[in-house]
Amino acid sequence: MDFLKPRYTPMNRRRRIYEGKAKVLYEGPEPGTLIQHFKDDATAFNAQKHEIIDGKGVLNNRISEYIFQNLNDIGVPTHFLRRLNMREQLIREVEIIPLEVVVRNVAAGSLATRLGLEEGTQLPRSIIEFYYKNDALNDPMVSEEHITAFGWANPQEIDDIMALAIRVNDFLSGLFLGVGIRLVDFKIETGRLWEGDLMRIVVADEISPDSCRLWDIKSKDKLDKDRFRRDMGGLVEAYSEVARRLGILSETENPTANGPRLVQ
Ligand code: TMP
Ligand code: ASP
């Protein structure tokens, strides 16, 4: 009685809305929804460096699901609806604001380089930075002046984005501290969610070790994408460790053996 089974659209017949470096967005089952598919691709330095890392997509899907579900549960609005399978989640369609919003607690990466700070220096307070999402320009840092002048977001929206970023920082800092991890910095993206005539800004995209710097508090080991950026190896092991500590991946589960594999 095969015809009685719910029909699903095979991946290659779904309408592809957008393909990014690490994810693909497909049309969702209902209007206003999309399917976010996590690939195994790792890129850095504006995709000059690129590798397929078996299992990364599965881990990021699970870790991002866990974080977004918790944000939803504490009243921080996000685009996340639910995870569908090992590599995919159902999300609300939002109008992405073309900014990468970076929150930093500890000097590292480009901030350490730009201001000549030693990596690991605690910052006097959390710092929010904005980067204009534009690969051709290599995501340049911009100020609120640029954002309002070019109409990427208005002053009220910038206030909302900063308030969201701070709430996400407080939640994530506590979450990771509880499992022995220091949240050094992270990046979020935000989008406009329309509900009739009402619009609100929500957290979009993903939050995973691809978009955070996570250092083990005791050993100072890096448990994030810097392992790939800096050719340190052990990326899947590090992401698995983050998932294991958060209690979302049992020790016997093997992320590389699960889920559909994207045909390149
Ligand atoms: P940065 O030190 O290279 O500016 O990165 C700051 C944080 O933002 C770090 O946690 C990594 C994250 N990030 C992304 O998620 N995507 C990016 O394209 C960049 C440049 C940084
Ligand atoms: N993922 C970004 C890129 O491909 C950069 C990074 O995370 O370092 O450019």
pLDDT of residue 261: 44
Q: Is residue 125 part of a domain?
A: yes
Shared-domain flag, residues 211 and 104: yes
Around ligand 2, the residues with Cβ closer than 6 Å are 21, 43-47, 225, 229
**pTM, rounded to two decimals:** 0.92
Shared-domain flag, residues 28 and 56: yes
Q: Is residue 211 part of a domain?
A: yes
Ligand nearest to the CA of 101: 1
Q: Is residue 255 part of a domain?
A: no
CATH number of domain containing 211? 3.30.470.20
- Is the CB of residue 186 below 6 angstroms from any atom belonging to ligand 1? yes
Shared-domain flag, residues 102 and 209: yes
Ligand 1 atom nearest 109 alpha carbon: 2
Shared-domain flag, residues 68 and 117: no
Shared-domain flag, residues 209 and 108: yes
- Is the CB of residue 102 below 6 angstroms from any atom belonging to ligand 1? yes
CATH number of domain containing 16? 3.30.200.20
Shared-domain flag, residues 122 and 190: yes
pLDDT of residue 154: 98
Shared-domain flag, residues 211 and 102: yes
Shared-domain flag, residues 191 and 104: yes
Shared-domain flag, residues 71 and 121: no
- The 3-class SS string of the chain reads CHHHCCCCCCHHHCCEEEECCCEEEEECCCCCEEEEEECCEEEECCCCEEEECCCHHHHHHHHHHHHHHHHHHCCCCECEEEECCCCEEEEECCEECCEEEEEEEECCHHHHHHHCCCCCCEEEEEEEEEEECCHHHCCCEECHHHHHHCCCCCHHHHHHHHHHHHHHHHHHHHHHHCCCEEEEEEEEEEEEEEECCEEEEEEECCCCCCCEEEEECCCCCECCCHHHHCCCCCHHHHHHHHHHHCCCCCCCCCHHHCCCCCCC
CB 85 within 8 A of CB 58: no
Range of the domain at 65: 2-94+236-245
Shared-domain flag, residues 120 and 90: no
pLDDT of residue 257: 55
Shared-domain flag, residues 187 and 167: yes
Instruction: Report the number of distinct structural domains present in the chain.
Output: 2
Q: Is residue 36 part of a domain?
A: yes
Q: Is residue 256 part of a domain?
A: no
Q: Is residue 260 part of a domain?
A: no
- Is the CB of residue 110 below 6 angstroms from any atom belonging to ligand 1? yes
Ligand 1 atom nearest 110 alpha carbon: 2
pLDDT of residue 13: 72
pLDDT of residue 256: 63
Shared-domain flag, residues 55 and 145: no
pLDDT in tens, the chain (264 residues): 455 555 555 656 789 999 999 999 999 999 999 999 999 999 999 999 999 999 999 999 999 999 999 999 999 999 999 999 999 999 999 999 999 999 999 999 999 999 999 999 999 999 999 999 999 999 999 999 999 999 999 999 999 999 999 999 999 999 999 999 999 999 999 999 999 999 999 999 999 999 999 999 999 999 999 999 999 999 999 999 999 999 997 655 666 655 444 444
Q: Is residue 227 part of a domain?
A: no
